[in-house]
Amino acid sequence: MEIAVETITWVKACRKDDIPSNGGACVLLNGEQIAIYNFERRGEWYATQNLCPHKKQMALSRGIIGALGDEPKVACPFHKKNFSLKSGSCLGEEDYQLKTYKVKVNEDEVFVGF
């Protein structure tokens, strides 16, 4: 029997205070713009690519976070496309997909997993 082992490299992204409560901010990690979200109302943290795949704008970190049912989501601030913060899937009828990243918080520091 083979067991798949997932190796994650954790990269320090920022301090917790750098990300607004119930909002997001952008950081540059490994040459990529990553949007990090502090969904404080749910006690959860998420990270996605910052590039909106709809119109190719680096804007998702400024999007509005919320929920569609139980699914945490971010809405692009320009065109209001909604994306799952868990899977990156577009929550509309379109086939757009976001790259998502694991996030962990250790004391005052936020780490993103690659």
Residues whose CB falls within 8 Å of the CB of residue 94, separated by 6 or more in sequence, listed in order? 54, 81
Residues whose CB falls within 8 Å of the CB of residue 112, separated by 6 or more in sequence, listed in order? 10, 11, 13, 27, 29, 34, 36, 47, 101, 102, 103
Instruction: Please name the residue that has the structure tokens 């899937």.
Output: 89
- The verdict on residue 92 lying in a domain is yes
Is the confidence at residue 50, as pLDDT, over 80? yes
- The verdict on residue 67 lying in a domain is yes
CATH number, domain of 66, equals 2.102.10.10
| Res 5: pLDDT | 72
**Which pLDDT band, with edges at 50, 70 and 90, does 89 fall under?**
very high
Is the confidence at residue 1, as pLDDT, over 90? no
Domain interval for residue 97: 10-113
**Which pLDDT band, with edges at 50, 70 and 90, does 93 fall under?**
confident
**Which pLDDT band, with edges at 50, 70 and 90, does 6 fall under?**
confident
- The verdict on residue 1 lying in a domain is no
